[in-house]
Amino acid sequence: MDYSETFFEMLKVLQRTYRKFPKFMIEIMAENYGIPIKEIKPLLNKFRKKGILLIMKDEGYTFTLNKNV
């Protein structure tokens, strides 16, 4: 099953609520959205490669959505 659409909707909620968010928040939200924990890493990689999800290494490895998407 492809969770990409659900994952993207979840990321948009996190972005609106927190602007920047750590991986553990993604994991907690994924559980609430019914996304299996084993799907999180592949989805993170997919969205990072597409340039949708950006990692802020200088800020303790937090994530944010690309504003151009």
The count of structural domains within the chain is 1
Helix (H, G, I), strand (E, B) or coil at 34: coil
pLDDT average, residue stretch 11-37:
95
Over pLDDT 90: what percentage of the chain?
Answer: 86
Strands (E), 1-69: 21-22, 53-56, 62-65
Instruction: Give the domain range for residue 50.
Output: 4-65
pLDDT at 69: 73
pLDDT average, residue stretch 7-25:
95
CA angle centred on 13, ends 28 and 65, rounded to 5°: 95
pLDDT at 37: 94
* CATH code of 47's domain: 1.10.10
